[in-house]
Chains A and B, each alone.
Chain A
Amino acid sequence: DAGVTQSPTHLIKTRGQQVTLRCSPISGHKSVSWYQQVLGQGPQFIFQYYEKEERGRGNFPDRFSARQFPNYSSELNVNALLLGDSALYLCASSYRAPGRTEAFFGQGTRLTVV
């Protein structure tokens, strides 16, 4: 079975540009969460979606947005990129809401803003 898949794996963008990151959860999983991991730190929660509804939002500016599609895949959008947005963006999926069952992570998308 395929695990959580994220695309693209690597991305280089210029300051001020917009980026869209994609995530496909494990088949049967209805919850998708997004995390930002800066080098040397633990992942920081950005968004959580369950059954296509936003269920949680972390302390990130409005430049960050996300959505979940009917097939439970998800996109994370970041507008007006800043150098500080450079990080590994991780997607996690779980069968139910995180905390009620195991959450499995994808390999991440390495975003570099120059």
Chain B
Amino acid sequence: GESVGLHLPTLSVQEGDNSIINCAYSNSASDYFIWYKQESGKGPQFIIDIRSNMDKRQGQRVTVLLNKTVKHLSLQIAATQPGDSAVYFCAETAQGGSEKLVFGKGTKLTVNP
């Protein structure tokens, strides 16, 4: 079945370092991917998205990379700040199928000052 997973459940970095959060997906029909940030007690917050016709997309301090060959997605956060501490989820969906987002289990990012 379709599933989205993450390689590491936790990631700890120093303030100012760059962070890389990884995600593997198994549904080759997936064509749209979103990264969400979820702080404690809050709903997921949209960070950045990417479609399958792209392999890279940049936002403010964030970059998403998509490798369709190995079905891998990553989120890069530049100059990580304490406010970036949260759980990060990748989600995917497939056009023409059930219009749902499939989430992975999440990676908890901790930024040490």
Interfacial residues, chain A to chain B (CB-CB below 8 A): 4, 33, 35, 40-45, 48, 50, 55-56, 58, 90, 92, 97-100, 102-108
- Chain A residues near B91: list those with CB within 8 A: 42
CA distance A103 to B42 in the complex (A): 15
Most A-side CB within 10 Å, residue of B36, B49, B89, B101: B101
A-B CB proximity, top 8 nearest: A42-B103, A99-B93, A105-B43, A45-B100, A56-B98, A105-B44, A97-B99, A99-B32
- Chain B residues near A98: list those with CB within 8 A: 93, 99-101
Contacting pair A42 B106 (CB below 8 A): yes
Residues facing A in B60-94 (CB within 8 A) are 89, 91, 93-94
Interfacial residues, chain B to chain A (CB-CB below 8 A): 4, 31-32, 34, 36, 42-46, 49, 89, 91, 93-95, 98-106
Contacting pair A45 B43 (CB below 8 A): no
- Chain A residues near B44: list those with CB within 8 A: 43, 90, 105
CA distance A90 to B42 in the complex (A): 10
Contacting pair B42 A50 (CB below 8 A): no
- Chain B residues near A106: list those with CB within 8 A: 43
- Chain A residues near B46: list those with CB within 8 A: 102-105
- Chain A residues near B99: list those with CB within 8 A: 33, 48, 50, 55-56, 97-99
